[in-house]
């Protein structure tokens, strides 16, 4: 089953959080909701991913974005994982239902065949969904690589939020005026200034002529 496509509404599913409290996904949505599916608690890759989202928790909060992780692990496992790593994101339990397929992972299309050391098995395909206020998928990441992923999700929300807030403003912005366009033309020296300068030079030259005459008179 393919992953839930962009523009589709998220399934109406209720899962227990790490305290055993039922949480309905559609009610968790604020301005944004990040739902990231991961394979298993306490494993290296899943720990790094949870810690990365935790490190950026304040910035997600500033954008009014809730972040929840979902895996097939149970409530107790989630509680221990949060306590051990001091996680700042909520984890929801999605245990396998009848037929061995977790409800949320199956509904989001992230439960599929995986292989490791030549062995094929069914499990969670690491994926993340960004859900907008209307409960629809705005962006989806499949087969996620952990390094840098949380930061990329945050950057996507920041970009989308900025785009939606600036739609009505471009027309009101005045174009930047280059300095070269407002330079004043060079002002030429006026004829009067030139005349003044000429007279000044003439005065300076005059004493030399008188001195020459005096010298001539003395010689006589």
Q: Give the Cα separation of 172 and 182 in Å (integer).
A: 22
Instruction: Classify the C-alpha dihedral 119-121-125-126 as positive or negative.
Output: negative
The distance of Cα 17 from the centroid of its chain, to the nearest Å, equals 28
Could you tell me if 36 and 71 are in contact, meaning their C-beta atoms sit under 8 angstroms apart?
Answer: no
Active-site residue, from 46, 65, 89, 104: 46
- Is 51 marked active-site? no
CB 116 within 8 A of CB 25: no
Kindly provide the b/e burial profile for residues 2-29, where b requires at least 16 CB atoms within 10 angstroms of the residue's own CB. ebbeeeeebeebebbbbeeeebebeebb
Q: Are 22 and 56 in contact (CB under 8 A)?
A: no
**Which amino acids are annotated catalytic?**
46
């Amino acid at each position: 089953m393919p992953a839930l496509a962009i523009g589709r509404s998220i399934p109406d599913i209720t899962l227990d959080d790490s305290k055993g409290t039922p949480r309905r996904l559609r009610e968790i949505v604020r301005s944004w909701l990040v739902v990231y599916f991961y394979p298993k608690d306490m494993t290296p890759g899943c720990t790094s991913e949870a810690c990365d989202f935790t490190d950026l928790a304040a910035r997600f909060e500033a954008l009014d974005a809730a972040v929840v992780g979902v895996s097939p692990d149970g409530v107790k496992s989630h509680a221990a994982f949060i306590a051990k790593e001091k996680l700042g994101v909520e984890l929801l339990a999605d245990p396998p239902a009848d037929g061995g397929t977790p409800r949320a992972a199956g509904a989001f299309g992230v439960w599929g065949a995986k292989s490791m050391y030549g062995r094929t098995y069914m499990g969670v395909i690491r994926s993340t969904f960004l859900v907008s206020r209307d409960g629809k998928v705005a962006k989806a990441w499949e087969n996620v690589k952990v390094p840098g992923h949380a930061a990329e999700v945050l950057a996507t929300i920041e970009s989308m939020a900025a785009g939606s807030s600036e739609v009505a403003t471009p027309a009101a912005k005045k174009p930047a005026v280059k300095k070269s366009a407002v330079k004043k033309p060079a002002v030429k020296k006026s004829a009067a200034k030139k005349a003044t300068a000429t007279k000044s030079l003439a005065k300076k030259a005059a004493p030399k002529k008188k001195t020459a005459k005096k010298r001539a008179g003395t010689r006589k």
